[in-house]
Amino acid sequence: MAFAAVVSVMSALSACGSGSHIETHTPSVTPSESAPGGHTPNPVDLSLLQSNREKWAASEVADYQFGFSMTCFCPQTNQPATILVRDNHLVSVSDSSGTPLTTGYLLDTSKPYSTADRIFAEIENLLSSADQVTVVYASNGFPTRIAADPIEDAVDDEFTVTISDFQALQ
């Protein structure tokens, strides 16, 4: 079976409001014994990830909040939430009404979507393991949408993460 990954990168309108630019890449990915999911990420995909990581790091934002939602066949994460990060550490997760969550997937700081660093690490992981990945970045480098199909021919493993309403905090 041939493996394929699709990575679309859009420098979208960010919360700060800047122009947009779209780059679409359809790289070929080959099986590899060394990569966790049997894939070798395309250097172009990794370069785009690195470029956006660098943009994010250059912003020097350590305190921020963002909206998070995940669409998948995984009910534990389908609830929209607001994630608050201070000094690059997860501080709190609130539901859509602003009520702090005291249990759940997003409160586990080892999970991939609790901070920008973890989000970038998860994108790198997906590029190495999933058959299809689409990532959209804001102009500041912060990811705003991640869609993945880990196993192309599997049923109900696809998911989309939407990161919205990003705000840098004082």
Count of alpha carbons within 13 Å of 55, Cβ hemisphere only?
A: 16
Over its C-alpha atoms, the chain yields an Rg (Å, rounded) of 16
pTM for this prediction: 0.74
- Domain boundaries in the chain? 3-168
Mean pLDDT of the chain: 76
Which residues on adjacent β-strands are paired with residue 12?
138
Helix (H) or strand (E) holding 92: strand 89-95
The whole-number average pLDDT for the span 62-71 is 93
116-154 pLDDT, tens digit per residue, is 999 999 999 999 888 889 899 999 999 999 999 888 888
The whole-number average pLDDT for the span 60-80 is 84
Helix (H) or strand (E) holding 13: none
Confidence band (pLDDT; 50, 70, 90) for 22? very low
The whole-number average pLDDT for the span 17-23 is 35
Q: Which residue has the higher pLDDT, 105 or 145?
A: 145
β-pairing verdict for 89-95 and 132-138: unpaired
Alpha helices in the chain (DSSP H): 43-59, 116-129
Cα 85 to its chain centre, rounded Å, is 16
Q: Which residue has the higher pLDDT, 22 or 116?
A: 116
10-14, 152-156, 159-163: least confidently modelled range: 10-14
Q: Tell me, what amino acid is at 57?
A: A
The whole-number average pLDDT for the span 105-121 is 82
pLDDT at 12: 28
Q: Tell me, what amino acid is at 26?
A: T
24-43 pLDDT, tens digit per residue, is 333 334 333 344 445 677 67
Residues with Cβ within 8 Å of 141's Cβ and at least 6 positions away in sequence, in order, are 51, 52, 53, 54, 55, 56, 57, 58, 59
